[in-house]
Every structure is written in C-alpha cells, then in structure tokens.
Amino acid sequence: MSPSSLHTQIFENLPDAVILTDAEGFITAWNPAAERLFGYSSEEAIGKTPLIILEPATAPQLIGQIRMATRQHGQWQGIVCYRRKDGGGGVLQAISIPLYDEQGVFVGRLGIGRVPGGQEPVSPDLKAALFQLNAITETIPLGIFMTDPQGRCLYANPACQRITGMTFEETLNDGWAKAIHPDDREKVTESWSLASQCGAVFESEPRFVHRDGRTLHTRMCARQIMDGDRLLGYVATVEDITERKNAEALLREQTEQIRNFALRMAMQNEQLEASARKLENLAATDGLTELKNHRAFQKRLEMEALRTERYGAPLSLLLLDIDRFKEYNDTYGHPAGDHALKEVAGKLASFIRDTDFAARYGGEEFAIILPETENAGALALAERVRVAVSEIVHVLRPLTVSIGVATWSARACDRQSLITRADRALYAAKRAGGNCVVCLDQEETEAKQSLPPE
C-alpha cells in the first residue's frame, strides 16, 4: 500500500472530525467524521470557511485566539462551540495545527475536533458561561481587540469595527493601527511601547479616522496577556468619546464666550461708571472756575455738619466776595471779569488742604469749608487767602476780597446758621471797606471783654 493510499485511509477512517484549510482559510479537505458531526457533505464544505460550523457569537473571538496561540506555541487547543447544518450544536474539544511547506511558508491549517463518548466535554453551566461571555464581547458597545506581542491584531469585536469602519478581516494584523489619525499614530506607538516595557496599563486618547472620513475621539486602554513570564499578546479596549469631547469643546467655547461677555460687560460697566462719575462731577462743578458749584457746596456742608453734630469735631466756614467786582466788569468787560474769577478760584484751590472744600458760591462769591478747623485756624487761613488774592498779577487791576469767617458754636449749631453767621461777617467786612477778614465770634468776644465789670 502506498503512503498516499495509507494517508487517505487514515483520513477517511479517523473517528475525529478532520478539516484542512489553505493559507487563505478556505476548506480543502473534510473527512466523513466531519460530515457526521456537522451535517455538511464534503462537497458542501469544501471551498467554504470554518465559519459555517462555528457558533456566530463565538466565531470571531475564537479565530483571534487560534491565530494568537499558533504564533506563540505552534498549535492551539481548546473548546469550540459549533453549530450543525440542521441548527443543532454543542461543544467539542479541538486542536488547530499550522502547516508549512519545505521553505517554511505557511500553507494552511489542520483542524481536529472530538466529542469524547458522544458527550460534551464540559458541563452545561460552563457551556452557558462561554456563550454569555462571547455574547457580551460581541454586543458590548465598548470596542475590544486582541493583538500578538508585536501588536498585530488577531481579533476585533463589532464595536471596534464600528469605530474604525473596517470589517473584521480589515482590522486584523496592522489594520487597526492604520485607522489611528496620522498625527496621533507615533505617539500611540511610543506610549504603548513604554507601557509594555514597564508592565503598566497603556492609556491614551488617540483620534481614529473612520472609513467615511469622520474623525472620532477615543479613549484606549491596553494590558498585557501573560503566561507566567511569557508575553502572549495584548487585550485592548477602545471607547468612542467623540460626543464627550465635542461637549467639552462646546462647553469651553461657551465658557470663553461667557467670559468674554462678562469682560465686555465689566468694561462697559466701568465706562458707564466713569461716565456717571464724569456727569456727576460736571453736575457738581462750576463751568467757569472749575471749582465745585453751589449745589455741591450745600451737600458737602450738610455732610460735615452731621459729622460735627455726631462727633463734636470742629468746623469752620469762609465766605469770600471780590470787592467792587461790578465796577471791574463794567470797566473791562465780562470776559475780563470771567478771567478774574478764574484767577481767584485758582488761588483758592492752591491754598486749601485735601480735606477742605472750595466752591463758587454764586456770582463773585466763593466759599471754603474747613473741617477739623477751629476759629483761630480759620482766621489764619482767611488772612493768607486775602493777601494771596491781592498779589494776583494776571489781571487788569489789583483785586481784593472781603472774607467772613464763622465757626461751629452755640450761635452756629447747624448748617444754615453757620452760613448765616459767615454771611453776616462777610457783609461786615464789606461795610468796613473791603479787603479784610471779619469774624463775628471774635468781635463779640472782644466787645464782651471791653465791657466794665459789674
């Protein structure tokens, strides 16, 4: 008997199902035991792939496991969930052996399946668990794929295929890596290699380019599959986080828009506040002399009077009137008179402290509020002002002022009485010929002191 005939008899009479496939995975031989076990004749099976007898829920994962194992160990052994032509099925023990020619070129696989004693080699519970595990892997929305130690893909579940837009076959080998965005591919390779060297879990958020051209944001994690100290490959997950990234980008954009809007509003508020302050200042300022006006004077004096009433702080007031100002206007004209008013206002502004308050009281009259100032201090300042006005040179004739001084006291214990008393003192100065300072408090004190004792 020739070796060829012997091999044929062995092949035909083996009790185990024997299947031969070529390098592309198509069935080239199918023995009678396979016909009996799976229900397909040799003619029906040859030219097909083993997928016709594999349980659909477990087939892709099983193919990946076989490819990984044969690259590492030369063969694969394990449990296969199969399906007959008539729809029945079960679980069998199987072995897959890679075949090579004399030059070492891979030419196909030899697959042997056995159901010992016609019974399933595993319990019903284990069989159910296998189906559940594979059902989860195939239906879970999280992409799952396995690679060999070199990163060549051996298995990719449907979710992974949806992320890449590739078929199962296109994803295999380095197909999955080609789907990574070109700008992210090198970074993923370097990070994966570094994590592998450290034995750490690889984590990254690369972009994938779907077959239809869309760019998807993903989160990828991978860990090693070890057999003791030997690296068998990697199992990785890929999650499509495009919606989350888009939402984050939208949130950042909206936050930036809100921030810019808030900045614009803050700037507008500052401008409005500045405008309001400017308007308020204009409303409180005399347009000619740029001192505060009568309205602002009354408001400030009211505030200082309330402070004096509450805390007992000293308070004095000066009222000034330019002597013979009507004559000056009639002689030199109103423009010259306006210039004279501005010169006097400038001199007053140069004399007062930051806490003092100078205002144009009306016409050629001015007022100076002196907080925290006793009568003696007010008289001294009034005299310096009188002298300074008389020394103004940029006018058409020398100017003089009459000044009335009043200090908060029992006779002037509110805003109006303080004004009235200063006004009376001013008129006393005018009646005395002008160019002088008068304080009724001082005159009354001197008059009292000149009376004979009783």
Q: What CATH number is associated with residue 411?
A: 3.30.70.270
Q: Does a structural domain hold residue 352? A: yes
Q: What is the pLDDT of residue 449?
A: 42
Question: Could you report the per-residue pLDDT of 340-375, keeping only the tens digit for each?
Answer: 999 999 999 998 889 999 999 999 999 999 999 999
Q: What CATH number is associated with residue 26?
A: 3.30.450.20
Q: Does a structural domain hold residue 417? A: yes
Q: How many residues does the chain have?
A: 454
> What is the average pLDDT value for the chain, to the nearest integer?
85
Question: Could you report the per-residue pLDDT of 225-255, keeping only the tens digit for each?
Answer: 887 787 878 888 999 999 988 888 888 899 8
Question: Dihedral (C-alpha) 259, 265, 268, 269: value to the nearest 10 degrees?
Answer: -120
Q: Does a structural domain hold residue 153? A: no
Question: Could you report the per-residue pLDDT of 217-227, keeping only the tens digit for each?
Answer: 999 998 888 87
Q: Does a structural domain hold residue 74? A: yes
Q: What is the pLDDT of residue 332?
A: 95
Give CA–CA dist 172/150, Å, rounded.
13
**Cβ contacts of residue 39 below 8 Å, gap of 6+?**
84, 85, 86, 88
pLDDT band at 98 (very low <50, low <70, confident <90, very high): confident
Among candidate residues 139, 161, 185, the one where a domain is terminated: 139
Give CA–CA dist 157/173, Å, rounded.
14
Q: What is the pLDDT of residue 87?
A: 82
Containing domain of residue 27, as a range?
A: 1-139
* Residue 9 pLDDT exceeds 90: no
Question: Could you report the per-residue pLDDT of 161-187, keeping only the tens digit for each?
Answer: 888 898 877 887 788 888 999 999 999
Q: Does a structural domain hold residue 318? A: yes
Q: What is the pLDDT of residue 7?
A: 62
**Cβ contacts of residue 394 below 8 Å, gap of 6+?**
339, 343
Among candidate residues 77, 112, 139, the one where a domain is terminated: 139
Total domains in the chain come to 2
Q: Does a structural domain hold residue 191? A: no
Q: Does a structural domain hold residue 206? A: no
pLDDT band at 2 (very low <50, low <70, confident <90, very high): very low
Q: Give the mean pLDDT of 45-65.
A: 80
**Enclosing H/E stretch for 346:** helix 334-351
Question: Could you report the per-residue pLDDT of 262-301, keeping only the tens digit for each?
Answer: 889 888 888 888 888 888 777 889 989 999 999 999 999 9
Q: What is the pLDDT of residue 127?
A: 53
Within a 10 A sphere around the Cβ of 87, how many other Cβ atoms? 7
Which residue type is seen at 111?
G
Provide the annotated active-site residues.
364
Q: Say if residues 344 and 392 touch (Cβ distance below 8 Å).
A: yes
Q: Bigger pLDDT: 54 or 72?
A: 54
Among candidate residues 90, 111, 139, the one where a domain is terminated: 139
Q: Does a structural domain hold residue 13? A: yes
Dig out the tokens for 83 from the structure: 């399906």
Q: Report the predicted TM-score, pTM, of the whole model to 2 decimal places.
A: 0.47
